[in-house]
Structure 1
């Protein structure tokens, strides 16, 4: 056993008394729901009888990627309860908003307990999952140790493990080996992710592909879309989607450079965190603007529209003539470029796109997206908005690439169901260790 594991356990247990005030501060900032803080301590279990598969997705992107997987699991195992946990409130809200009505009775949501030993134990004793699937890179030492001690089969699906993450875990190789080696199945997004995971101790590593290739197109409420189309008319639209701090100033600079050359230009900024809307408006420095959070539409007099609401990005991809993928002009790692690809929106990607390295590289290599920097952003926006044939070609290529993973959710569902006991578990006396071994 590595020294890092016991140190983490002691440290998190010691911090537990301080986490209550921290959680209440998060409530005041809109990062937690006051009535559900008990879930962060592992409370609130309401386990139904029968088999239960727990899937954990940290935030919005991970949650959206498993929606087709939930449908595939439910279709194959109608008796199965699917417990979905998230870290973020936004992930929870979008899950409930996007979950098909047919799945509502089969899917339960809770917030992930913080990785405090007693809180993890309480959660596991209350829910008693038959198997667990963690999404992308959600590796929590106390949680994984508790699952391993109980013999609960655990998988890491759609695993993303960047060079930076591998370097960080390289400082605690023993702990990484314990966590990854205890997983019954690892399904990596790419061969490079798989190699890094194997190097740190993961076993039974497969490379089926990226679930985000199989996600459905982002939805758009028809009435809202119609109102926006009417308000915008035939103006050229530049969209900056899911932006992070530091990017909005670059986007506004590009707008100021392009607007004199392209009359009527409307720039729409959709911040990754909607609560930043007022701060972004302050950056505009006199540019006439409107804010969606205030209920405003982008009228003819506005140069900039700040879409500071949640879950409406599908509207704006359908309206834009070109979009910048946020998080890629600053060292955040980039948001999901497949979302605009599915909706026929020409794509610009900055140099920082390691969160989606494989799809971004494919889009850039085949002409479905263009690489930009702060210095070249304005010229690229101008180039795409003034060349309709170029925009159509980019969109067609991106759409083709985004359709590559249509059958992946079914494949992943089959592998996860193989971790479960073969029949209903309601009558089983012993809990844990009931999953079947997988052939790798």
Structure 2
């Protein structure tokens, strides 16, 4: 009965999407006015291709946003090295920029089609993927069902289910099973994630570790880094990165408490969403703090209190300015943000206790001494003060973090091994195509 009910609901979802399709344009247009869509590429959201399909085997790989795009970039590079075409779809403007920076013209980038049958069908009709690879936890019912109907193998890589997502899907277990049965393989980040996918009906499920560990450190423009370091000079610096609402106030609180003990203190604040920068800068000014904004090209002077990192794609710059970083969405937010980038850049990591989305990474970093948890903004101030005053302890945390990241590496190789049955036929196809084209000349 539950299986029949699941089919009924998914059919209703399909028809509801088809009915909504003609009027969805207004919503996409509104997003474009907010900078959340590229105005001249909105057609891609309806599955209308911006480029022709190349000849030969093609893999469609979807990564929702910036973190997922960075995580799968090395995997994409390996697939492209096999001679296989890759169409990468993402859902945000920032992730599209990251894809361009990291992968350039080695891949075709498109915005992911809306999860409505007309859009998905048009996308699949044009690109005709031989394999679909989905990153982390992007479970879109219509897309999964349409791929299943066309017998296109679907593999979820770097699979993760947060506590909230697992609880939500568990309440609708029969729907989850009806969707996940379409996946040829789930490659999960951890044993916990694997068990969750298995309980929801996925088969088979293997564990690879976190692909984010096998990425290279975020890049930086050496000239810009040298210039900004020159402006900072010998001042003491700490950073609050990937912050969410309320955590910038905590960073300002820390700065206000500590500048009496460290008169030359500079606090770097990097909000997760740079569009909040105006409000953050205004709040700092109300408290009498001098702010230099990266987006405006402001210079850091001896009187600058806050360096506001309100740009996209420059985390590599901000993390290289400090040896101490609080990672946000963990104190006032829920779930945490990725601590691996700071750790791989030899940065002592501090975070609140709400880090469920990166539980395994934090557990390993904390066990090795590379990360510490803080209860509130006052404890955060104490931790920052301690690390500023104790170079040996700070260095111990930095070294432990880097060592932990190195020990966690290997996910890319495990992922490629699990993908081998699906990738190998495409490699053969690509080589045969090259040989045929070569003989034709």
Q: TM-score, normalised by structure 2?
A: 0.92
Return 5+ residue gaps in structure 1 as ranges.
Answer: 429-440
Q: 1:214-246: CA deviations, max 9, x gaps? A: 110111100110011100011111101111112
1:173 is displaced (CA, Å) by: 1.5
The answer to whether the aligner puts 1:26 opposite 2:31 as a matched pair is yes
- Equivalents in 2 of 1:18, 1:266: separation in Å? 50
Say which of 92, 96, 102 aligns to 1:88. 92
* 2:159 and 2:188 in contact (8 A); partners too: yes
1:321 is displaced (CA, Å) by: 2.8
* 1:347 and 1:370 in contact (8 A); partners too: yes
* CA distance 1:114–1:427, change in 2 (3 Å): farther
1:169 is displaced (CA, Å) by: 1.0
- Equivalents in 2 of 1:326, 1:88: separation in Å? 20
Q: Report the equivalent of 2:125.
A: 125
Q: Report the equivalent of 2:305.
A: 303
- Equivalents in 2 of 1:14, 1:171: separation in Å? 27
Q: 1:218-277: CA deviations, max 9, x gaps? A: 111001100111000111111011111121111111111111111111001111111211
Q: Report the equivalent of 1:10.
A: 15
* CA distance 1:406–1:361, change in 2 (3 Å): closer
Return 5+ residue gaps in structure 2 as ranges.
Answer: 434-441
The answer to whether the aligner puts 1:401 opposite 2:407 as a matched pair is no
- Equivalents in 2 of 1:352, 1:142: separation in Å? 32
Q: Report the equivalent of 2:40.
A: 35
The SS at the match of 2:28 is: helix
The answer to whether the aligner puts 1:68 opposite 2:74 as a matched pair is yes
- Equivalents in 2 of 1:362, 1:9: separation in Å? 42
1:11 is displaced (CA, Å) by: 2.5
Q: Report the equivalent of 2:439.
A: none
1:338 is displaced (CA, Å) by: 0.3
1:72 is displaced (CA, Å) by: 2.1
Q: Report the equivalent of 1:270.
A: 270
1:67 is displaced (CA, Å) by: 1.3
* 1:211 and 1:405 in contact (8 A); partners too: no
**Structure 1 range deviating more: 259-268 or 418-427:** 418-427
The correspondence of residues 244-263 of structure 1 with structure 2, limited to 5 A, is: 244-263=244-263
* 1:183 and 1:202 in contact (8 A); partners too: yes
- Equivalents in 2 of 1:358, 1:4: separation in Å? 35
Q: 1:364-409: CA deviations, max 9, x gaps? A: 1221011013231111111111110111100111001112344332
1:63 is displaced (CA, Å) by: 0.2
Q: 1:54-108: CA deviations, max 9, x gaps? A: 1100000000001111222233x12x00111101110010111122x6xx33x11
* CA distance 1:398–1:427, change in 2 (3 Å): closer
* 1:4 and 1:174 in contact (8 A); partners too: no
1:425 is displaced (CA, Å) by: 7.2
Q: 1:272-328: CA deviations, max 9, x gaps? A: 111211111011122111111111122111111111011111111111131110111
**Structure 1 range deviating more: 346-355 or 326-335:** 326-335
The SS at the match of 2:407 is: coil
Q: TM-score, normalised by structure 1?
A: 0.93
* 2:21 and 2:118 in contact (8 A); partners too: no
Q: Report the equivalent of 1:438.
A: none
The answer to whether the aligner puts 1:379 opposite 2:385 as a matched pair is no
1:426 is displaced (CA, Å) by: 11
The SS at the match of 2:347 is: coil
Q: Report the equivalent of 1:391.
A: 394
Over the residues paired in the alignment, what is the CA RMSD in angstroms? 1.7
Aligned pairs, how many?
422
* 2:369 and 2:400 in contact (8 A); partners too: yes
Q: 1:92-148: CA deviations, max 9, x gaps? A: 10111122x6xx33x111010010111111111111000011000000000000011
The correspondence of residues 277-426 of structure 1 with structure 2, limited to 5 A, is: 277-284=277-284, 285=286, 286-374=288-376, 375-420=378-423, 421-422=425-426, 423-424=428-429
* 1:239 and 1:267 in contact (8 A); partners too: yes
- Equivalents in 1 of 2:24, 2:264: separation in Å? 50
* 2:330 and 2:351 in contact (8 A); partners too: yes
* 1:72 and 1:410 in contact (8 A); partners too: no
* 2:268 and 2:308 in contact (8 A); partners too: yes
The SS at the match of 1:66 is: helix
* 1:69 and 1:410 in contact (8 A); partners too: no
* 1:340 and 1:346 in contact (8 A); partners too: yes
Structure number with greater CO (CA < 8 Å, separation at least 6) is 1
